[in-house]
């Protein structure tokens, strides 16, 4: 019988391994930036073109590599971080598997220049698809410069699965934020298509956060600090009033490594209980230092998920630390049940001196002098004068005078009808064909029975088609604001708004740049209330980020995000005129059965189905 099992060639094995390590250009950025950090660099420069598809270059001033190390770094499982299995539980570096450079070199054109500090001449290596094209000595500065070009050039199927340049660029920006936030003591520079996006100097943690997310972030931060035998926690949380609908500003770092942990996230959210509105998420930048023996960071290829030995204790400590931070800065509601509120000084009388009572005497008062201005109080005794008693019977002498005196008095009388409703309301109720159920559904009648419509999904469908029409025809109306509203956005959010500027203007939005992280809104579509500008744009950015992963057109993603942010919500009261208008607009749409998110809008109950319920 012939043998069927054989060893794969190295270049094929590297391409398979690259499927785990390199999922998109952001994965290459993460690996190269972490290698630069491990090399002890103090300044790191990231250069990207076309969302990382054309070029990813990382330049650092770290320790560099010798000629032999430079060649060995591209071999599979070649690493300087560990030597035996026990070292896996004493990790203080980022990379340790030795698969990153080998996997990257298997699917791209790699160009590396490196020189250690104790040598005068460096090494220049060019590799294409795991094949070394050239290796020669070259004069270069201390440190390492790695250029990755034409990602997935030899795997067209993988390249076709990449998203647009804008989407891939946002993923690269997220990875850059994570590495830059984890190491505030290192300077970073970020260039995209020749323009500088970030220039971050080595600084403190708080200044690094404000440098990335804007200077107004400084007023949102509340420090959190706790030190125990299990974990040391430090960092910042955002004040509850600045919570957003998107999850962008949520960062966990364990031993200076960014991680994703739904369990720890729940601990933070539970600490904010009672302080947040529904469907908003708190922001936080939390740094945890634990014993390397108590965690396992080798459970996921991207090393963004870790396993803790004692998660329950960590959960309780983190939750208590966040609650302590909220309470320490008087952000949590406080009640003192032992204090008597009746003894509290009213706010209007605080810092106000007591006034001495004064006595005023009318020295011209004469009780024995008769005056027509004297007032008679009910129940009090007063001597009545007999003068002018004839005037009391003037009205009795003439019935006409009495009749005239009461001519302007009208009495209300109840009109007895055959209905519990007033006549006008009864007529309106008889003509109305809709009513609102639980402030969630609109119920109306049809020939065959009854129609139950989800008001939020119906309004989303109406607005969705309206927005698509406006962006296509570009004839929308704009409501100009008397006083422009100034809003603050992070650089990443401003980049998204810049991408959508043409479509937003077609919808009726008018923007004006003010400062680096501020934007003035001067005009709005008529469907967007002025008081909800911030929440609408926040929901628009959040929805656009989520929709961008589905490879939809830009106008479609924008219409979906905007209709979701502006539409009527469950719990909103609608009058009968609005209900009828929504029903009519819904059935005037091209697609009236499904919402923009492919969910049913209404259901029907036929008369037979209703009759069967009574059998």
| Alpha-carbon torsion (389, 390, 394, 396), positive or negative | positive
Q: Are residues 183 and 138 in the same domain?
A: yes
Residue 396 lies in a domain: no
Q: Are residues 261 and 196 in the same domain?
A: no
Instruction: Please give the pLDDT value at position 382.
Output: 46
What percentage of the chain carries pLDDT values higher than 70? 75
The last residue of a domain, from among 303, 328, 353: 328
Instruction: Please give the pLDDT value at position 204.
Output: 92
The last residue of a domain, from among 304, 328, 352: 328
Residue 420 lies in a domain: no
Q: Are residues 88 and 136 in the same domain?
A: yes
Residue 392 has pLDDT above 60, yes or no: no
Instruction: Please give the pLDDT value at position 45.
Output: 95
If DSSP codes are grouped into helix, strand and coil, which group holds residue 520? strand
**Residue 379 confidence class, pLDDT cut points 50, 70, 90:** very low
DSSP notation for 405-460: HTTT-----PPP-SSSS-HHHHHHHHH--EEEETTTEEEEEETTEEEEEEHHHHHH
Instruction: Please give the pLDDT value at position 249.
Output: 84
Q: Average pLDDT for residues 439-458, to the nearest whole number?
A: 90
The token duo for 291 is 């014993």
- Find where tokens 């909800």 sit: 532
Residue 294 lies in a domain: yes
pLDDT per position as a tens digit, 452-494: 999 999 999 999 998 888 877 766 677 888 888 888 777 777 7
Q: Are residues 234 and 112 in the same domain?
A: no
Q: Are residues 184 and 65 in the same domain?
A: yes
pLDDT, mean over the chain: 79
Helix (H) or strand (E) holding 149: strand 143-149
Count of Cβ atoms closer than 10 Å to residue 428 Cβ: 12
The token duo for 174 is 């997220």
**Residue 420 confidence class, pLDDT cut points 50, 70, 90:** very low
Q: Are residues 453 and 507 in the same domain?
A: yes
Residue 373 lies in a domain: no
Strand runs (DSSP E) across 61-130, as ranges?
A: 109-115, 122-128
The token duo for 286 is 């939390």
368 vs 181: which has the higher pLDDT: 181
- Residue partners of 466: CB distance under 8 A and separation at least 6: 527
Q: Average pLDDT for residues 500-507, to the nearest whole number?
A: 81
Question: Which CATH number fits the domain that encloses residue 322?
Answer: 3.30.230.10
End-to-end CA distance of the chain: 73
pLDDT per position as a tens digit, 48-89: 999 999 999 999 999 999 888 888 888 876 666 555 555 555
Spacing of C-alpha 165 from chain mean position? 23
Alpha carbon distance 213, 25 (integer Å): 23
580 vs 309: which has the higher pLDDT: 580
If DSSP codes are grouped into helix, strand and coil, which group holds residue 393? helix
Say whether pTM exceeds 0.95: no
Q: Within the chain, what is the greatest distance between any pair of CA atoms?
A: 144
Q: Are residues 182 and 270 in the same domain?
A: no
Alpha carbon distance 82, 95 (integer Å): 10
Contact between 185 and 204 (Cβ < 8 Å): no
Q: Average pLDDT for residues 316-344, to the nearest whole number?
A: 71
Instruction: Please give the pLDDT value at position 484.
Output: 85
The token duo for 149 is 């070009």
Q: How many domains does the chain have?
A: 3
Phi and psi for 257 in degrees, rounded to 5? -130, 125
1 vs 13: which has the higher pLDDT: 13
pLDDT per position as a tens digit, 101-111: 888 888 899 99
Residues written for the chain: 615
What percentage of the chain carries pLDDT values higher than 90? 28
Alpha carbon distance 442, 421 (integer Å): 22
| Alpha-carbon torsion (62, 66, 67, 71), positive or negative | negative
- Residue partners of 311: CB distance under 8 A and separation at least 6: 263
Alpha carbon distance 75, 130 (integer Å): 9
**Residue 370 confidence class, pLDDT cut points 50, 70, 90:** low
Instruction: Please give the pLDDT value at position 285.
Output: 95
Residue 36 lies in a domain: yes
Residue 290 lies in a domain: yes
Q: Are residues 219 and 190 in the same domain?
A: no
Alpha carbon distance 372, 309 (integer Å): 96
Q: Which domain holds residue 313?
A: 212-328
Q: Are residues 100 and 233 in the same domain?
A: no
Q: At what angle do helices 205-213 and 165-182 cross, to 10 degrees?
A: 160
Q: Average pLDDT for residues 356-372, to the nearest whole number?
A: 72
Q: Are residues 491 and 544 in the same domain?
A: yes
HEC string for 240-259: HHHCECCCCCEEEEECCEEE
DSSP notation for 524-567: E-TTS-GGGHHHHHHHHHHHHHHHGGGT--HHHHHHHHHHHHHS
Q: Is 274 left (phi over 0), alpha (psi -120 to 50) or beta?
A: left
Alpha carbon distance 82, 339 (integer Å): 62
Q: Are residues 219 and 187 in the same domain?
A: no
Spacing of C-alpha 409 from chain mean position? 64
Residue 424 has pLDDT above 50, yes or no: no
Residue 408 CB burial class (10 angstroms; 0-12, 13-18, ≥19): exposed
223 vs 333: which has the higher pLDDT: 223
Question: Which CATH number fits the domain that encloses residue 148?
Answer: 3.30.565.10
pLDDT per position as a tens digit, 179-209: 999 999 999 999 998 888 899 999 999 999 9
Residue 351 has pLDDT above 70, yes or no: no
Q: Compute the chain's Rg from CA coordinates.
A: 37
The last residue of a domain, from among 281, 311, 328: 328
Residue 427 lies in a domain: no
Residue 233 has pLDDT above 90, yes or no: yes
Contact between 179 and 37 (Cβ < 8 Å): yes
Question: Which CATH number fits the domain that encloses residue 550?
Answer: 3.30.1370.100
Instruction: Please give the pLDDT value at position 550.
Output: 54
Residue 401 CB burial class (10 angstroms; 0-12, 13-18, ≥19): exposed
**Residue 167 confidence class, pLDDT cut points 50, 70, 90:** confident
Instruction: Please give the pLDDT value at position 141.
Output: 92
The single-letter DSSP state of residue 219 is G
16 vs 530: which has the higher pLDDT: 530
Task: Rounding to the nearest 10 degrees, give the CA dihedral for residues 225, 226, 232, 233.
Answer: -40
Q: Are residues 216 and 194 in the same domain?
A: no
Alpha carbon distance 538, 514 (integer Å): 19
Residue 88 lies in a domain: yes
Contact between 128 and 149 (Cβ < 8 Å): no
Closest among 325, 324, 314, 319 to 230, alpha carbons compared? 314
Helices (H), 39-187: 67-72, 100-106, 156-160, 165-182
Q: Average pLDDT for residues 131-158, to the nearest whole number?
A: 90
DSSP notation for 467-499: HHHHHHH-----EEEEEEEEEE--HHHHHHHHH
- Find where tokens 């020295």 sit: 363
């Amino acid at each position: 019988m012939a043998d069927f099992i054989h060893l794969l060639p190295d270049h094929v094995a590297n391409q398979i391994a690259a499927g785990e390590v390199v999922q998109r250009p952001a994965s290459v950025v993460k690996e190269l930036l972490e290698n630069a950090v491990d090399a002890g660099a103090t300044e790191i420069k990231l250069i990207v073109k076309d969302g990382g598809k054309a070029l990813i270059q990382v330049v650092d001033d770290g320790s560099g590599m010798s000629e032999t190390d430079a060649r060995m770094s591209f071999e599979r499982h070649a690493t300087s971080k560990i030597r035996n299995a026990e070292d896996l539980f004493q990790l203080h570096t980022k990379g340790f598997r030795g698969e990153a450079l080998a996997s990257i070199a298997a699917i791209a054109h790699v160009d590396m220049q490196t020189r250690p500090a104790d040598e005068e001449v460096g090494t220049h290596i060019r590799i294409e698809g795991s094949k070394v094209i050239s290796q020669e000595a070259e004069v270069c500065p201390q440190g390492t410069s790695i250029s990755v070009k034409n990602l997935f050039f030899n795997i067209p199927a993988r390249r076709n699965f990449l998203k647009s340049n804008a989407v891939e660029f946002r993923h690269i920006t997220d990875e850059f934020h994570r590495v830059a936030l984890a190491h505030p003591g290192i300077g970073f520079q970020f260039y995209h298509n020749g323009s500088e996006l970030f220039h971050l100097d080595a600084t403190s943690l708080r200044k690094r956060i404000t440098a990335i997310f804007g200077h107004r972030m400084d007023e949102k931060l509340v420090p959190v600090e706790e030190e125990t035998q299990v974990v040391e926690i430090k960092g910042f949380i955002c004040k509850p009033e600045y919570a957003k609908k998107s999850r962008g500003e949520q960062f966990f770092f364990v031993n200076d490594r960014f991680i994703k942990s739904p369990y720890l996230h729940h601990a933070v959210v539970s600490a904010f209980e009672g302080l947040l509105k529904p469907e908003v998420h708190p922001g936080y930048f939390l740094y945890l230092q634990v014993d390397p023996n108590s965690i396992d960071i080798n459970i996921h290829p991207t090393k963004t998920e870790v396993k803790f030995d004692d998660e329950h204790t960590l959960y309780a400590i983190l939750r208590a630390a966040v609650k302590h931070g909220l309470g320490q800065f008087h952000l949590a509601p406080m009640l003192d049940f032992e204090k008597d509120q009746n003894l509290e000084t009213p706010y209007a009388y605080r810092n106000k001196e007591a006034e001495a009572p004064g006595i005023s005497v009318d020295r011209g008062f004469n009780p024995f002098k008769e005056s027509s201005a004297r007032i008679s109080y009910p129940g009090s005794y007063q001597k009545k004068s007999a003068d002018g008693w004839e005037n009391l019977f003037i009205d009795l002498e003439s019935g006409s005078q009495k009749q005239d005196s009461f001519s302007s008095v009208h009495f209300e009388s109840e009109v007895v009808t055959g209905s519990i409703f007033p006549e006008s309301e009864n007529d309106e109720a008889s003509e109305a064909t809709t009513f609102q159920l639980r402030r969630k559904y609109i119920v109306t009648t049809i020939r065959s029975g009854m129609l139950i419509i989800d008001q939020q999904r119906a309004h989303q469908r109406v607005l969705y088609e309206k927005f698509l029409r406006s962006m296509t025809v570009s004839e929308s109306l704009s409501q100009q604001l008397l006083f422009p509203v100034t809003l603050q956005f992070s650089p990443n959010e401003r980049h998204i708004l810049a991408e959508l500027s043409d479509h937003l203007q077609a919808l009726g939005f008018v923007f004006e740049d003010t400062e680096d992280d501020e934007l003035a809104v001067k005009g709005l579509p008529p469907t967007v209330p002025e008081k909800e500008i911030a929440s609408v744009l926040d929901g628009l950015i959040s929805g656009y980020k989520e929709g961008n992963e589905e490879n939809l057109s830009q106008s479609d993603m924008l219409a979906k995000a905007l209709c979701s942010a502006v539409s009527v919500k469950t719990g909103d009261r609608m009058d009968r005129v609005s209900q009828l208008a929504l029903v009519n607009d819904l059935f005037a749409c091209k697609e009236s059965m499904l919402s923009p998110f492919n969910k049913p809008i209404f259901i029907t109950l036929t008369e037979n189905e209703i009759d069967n319920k009574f059998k």
